[in-house]
Amino acid sequence: MGLFSIVKAEFWAIKHTLNLASSRGFEHVEVELDSQMAIHMLLNPITLVMPLLWTSF
C-alpha cells in the first residue's frame, strides 16, 4: 500500500464518518487526524487534485 493509498483511505474514512454523522442528525462534529499529509491537504487543497480524490470514492 503506497503513501497515496493511505491518504486516500484517511479521506474515505472522513467522508464516510461525516456522512454517517449527518444521517444521524449531528450538525457539529470534530475530526481528529494523525496523518500530517491528510491534514496538510485538507488545510491547503489543490483545486485540481482534491475533486479527483473525493469523486474516486
pLDDT digits (tens, 9 = 90+) for 2-19: 656 888 888 888 889 999
Of 46, 33, 45, 44, residue with least CA distance to 6: 33
Long-range contacts, stretch 4-9, CB < 8 angstroms, 24+ apart: 6/35, 7/35, 7/37, 7/38, 7/41, 8/53, 8/56
- Verdict on whether the full-model pTM lies above 0.75: no
Q: What is the pLDDT of residues 11-57, one digit of tens each?
A: 888 889 999 999 999 999 998 888 787 777 777 766 545 555 555 55
Q: Cα dist. 25→11, 15, 19, 39 in Å? A: 21, 15, 10, 25
